[in-house]
């Protein structure tokens, strides 16, 4: 079947030791928030300039095998006037696309969220594929409060993620399945672990129900961390809790686990990834990244929206990508910063 061949080729191009995914799929409100910090207005022109800078960073393909784009970027030209997906592929970076339409409150379930976007998904995927996308991403978001996430929300969100993943595979796009349990709040690390385990169990049960081929998908989970308002955890504690949860929930058939950074500082996210890989003992999956903020933040602060800073910003991005490449091998040290 044609779609299986396509999915296998995409997985082969994306899952490589020491390479990860750059999440550059901020929706319009989110990118405006990121640009505000550097006093840059978010316009079609500035968004194109920023994403073009990312994708044309010389040498990035050595550490990055995939980039998640927002719909607008998929149809934009990079600075060298070739389309962004072609510019990415010139460095053997596969282009993918965020296909969810964002989160809304889950009706009659106070505090719980659900993500929209399933209607017409297959048709949209066909268009995105023609424009050069080979994988897709969908994020479900779970807050932690006293009675949240509820079991009902965990099941409803899992169902949506699995339906999305099945449609992607049918259309020949590798699904990145992203259930993000937020680190906002006062909860301790054990509460984050328990919520994440319940979420991931429901997700894999739903993926099984919907016949999703586990070998041809990528999981994008949160690391296990204490809430932002709680005390900080050492990388070894984060690594132990994260690996324990993944071992309980993720089938061996899944080829790659690519963590989101979730609001951690770039250095913190890299140190935690490093500890995870150091503690990993013959895990069946690759333990890699799909960072957004933790890869882009430093480069954004160098760029400041100015063309004369492009080269230095690209150097900053490449350095962050290299440090995470070392962390994927458990060889990162803070002195490398
Ligand atoms: C890059 O941001 C993605 C889209 O976010 P919005 O829909 O809120 O605009 C987001 O899904 C991102 O891919 C993940 O959260 C991972 O990014 P971080 O910054 O957490 O590593």
pLDDT of residue 79: 79
Kindly state the tokens that stand for 52. 């073009």
Residue % of the chain over a pLDDT of 90: 97
pLDDT of residue 300: 98
3-state SS assignment for residue 159: helix
pLDDT of residue 211: 98
CA distance 49 to 30: 16
Q: Residue 27 — very low, low, confident or very high, per pLDDT cuts 50/70/90? A: very high
pLDDT exceeds 80 at position 1? no
pLDDT of residue 80: 73
Task: Give the model confidence (pLDDT) of 229-244 as tens digits.
Answer: 888 899 999 999 999 9
Gap from CA of 118 to ligand 1 centroid (Å) = 19
Kindly state the tokens that stand for 332. 């990162």
Q: DSSP alpha helices (H): ranges in 280-309?
A: 293-303
Determine whether 45 is an active site residue: no
DSSP for residue 145: B
Average pLDDT, stretch 59-80? 95
Q: Which CATH number goes with the domain that contains 52?
A: 3.20.20.70
Average pLDDT, stretch 143-166? 98
Which distant-in-sequence residues (6+ apart) come within 8 Å of 146 by Cβ? none
Determine whether 159 is an active site residue: no
**Cα 96 to the center of its chain, rounded Å:** 11
pLDDT of residue 128: 98
Q: Residue 178 — very low, low, confident or very high, per pLDDT cuts 50/70/90? A: very high
Work out whether the CA dihedral 89, 92, 93, 97 comes out positive or negative: positive
Q: 103-105 and 113-115 as β-strands: parallel, antiparallel, unpaired?
A: antiparallel
Output the average pLDDT for the chain. Answer: 97
CA distance 330 to 337: 15
Q: Which of 6, 26, 178, 268 is an active site residue?
A: 178
How many structural domains comprise the chain? Answer: 1
CA angle in degrees (0–180, nearest 5) for 201-161-195: 35
Q: Which atom of ligand 1 is nearest to the CA of 269?
A: 21
pLDDT exceeds 80 at position 170? yes
pLDDT of residue 118: 98
Q: Which of 98, 137, 220, 326 is an active site residue?
A: 220
E strand segments, 86-128? 94-98, 103-105, 113-115
Cβ contact 197:154 at 8 Å = no
pLDDT exceeds 90 at position 81? no
CA distance 117 to 175: 14
Task: Give the model confidence (pLDDT) of 262-319 as tens digits.
Answer: 999 999 999 999 999 999 989 999 999 999 999 999 999 999 999 999 999 999 999 9
Ligand 1 pocket, residue 177 CB under 6 Å: no
Ligand 1 pocket, residue 221 CB under 6 Å: no
Ligand 1 pocket, residue 294 CB under 6 Å: yes
Q: 20-24 and 135-142 as β-strands: parallel, antiparallel, unpaired?
A: unpaired
Average pLDDT, stretch 56-64? 98
Q: Which atom of ligand 1 is nearest to the CA of 262?
A: 20
Is the bond preceding 149 in cis, omega lying within 30 degrees of 0?
A: yes
Task: Give the model confidence (pLDDT) of 28-56 as tens digits.
Answer: 999 999 999 999 999 999 999 999 999 99
Domain around 74: 2-336
Kindly state the tokens that stand for 5. 């061949």
Quickly count: other Cβ atoms within 10 Å of residue 160's Cβ. Answer: 19
pLDDT of residue 298: 98
């Amino acid at each position: 079947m044609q779609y299986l061949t396509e999915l296998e080729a995409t997985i082969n191009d994306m899952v490589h030791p020491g390479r990860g995914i750059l999440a550059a799929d901020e929706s319009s409100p989110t990118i405006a928030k990121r640009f505000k910090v550097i006093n840059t207005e978010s316009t079609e022109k500035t968004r194109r300039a920023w994403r073009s800078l990312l994708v044309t960073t010389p040498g990035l393909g050595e550490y990055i095998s995939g980039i998640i784009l927002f719909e607008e970027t998929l149809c934009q030209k990079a600075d060298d006037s070739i389309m962004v997906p072609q510019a990415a592929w010139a460095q053997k970076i596969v282009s993918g696309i965020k296909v969810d339409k964002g989160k809304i409150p889950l009706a009659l379930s106070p505090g719980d969220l659900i993500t929209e976007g399933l209607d017409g998904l297959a048709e949209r995927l066909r268009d995105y594929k023609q424009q050069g996308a080979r994988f897709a991403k969908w994020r479900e978001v779970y807050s932690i409060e006293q009675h949240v996430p509820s079991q009902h929300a965990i099941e409803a969100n899992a169902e949506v993620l699995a339906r999305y993943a099945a449609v992607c595979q049918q259309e020949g796009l590798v699904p990145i399945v992203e259930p993000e349990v937020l680190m906002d709040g006062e909860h301790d690390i054990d509460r984050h672990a328990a919520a994440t385990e319940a979420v991931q169990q429901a997700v894999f049960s739903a993926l099984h129900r919907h016949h999703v081929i586990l070998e041809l998908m990528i999981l994008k989970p949160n690391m296990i961390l204490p809430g932002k308002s709680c005390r900080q955890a050492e990388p070894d504690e984060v690594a132990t809790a994260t690996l324990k949860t993944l071992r309980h929930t993720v089938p061996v058939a899944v080829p790659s686990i690519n963590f989101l950074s979730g609001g951690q500082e770039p250095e913190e996210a890299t140190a935690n990834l490093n500890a995870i890989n150091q503690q990993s003992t013959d895990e069946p999956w690759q333990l890699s990244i799909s960072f957004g903020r933790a890869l882009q933040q430093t480069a954004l602060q160098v760029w400041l929206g100015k063309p004369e800073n492009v080269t230095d910003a690209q150097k900053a991005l490449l350095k962050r990508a290299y440090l995470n490449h070392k962390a994927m091998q458990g060889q990162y040290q803070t002195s490398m910063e």
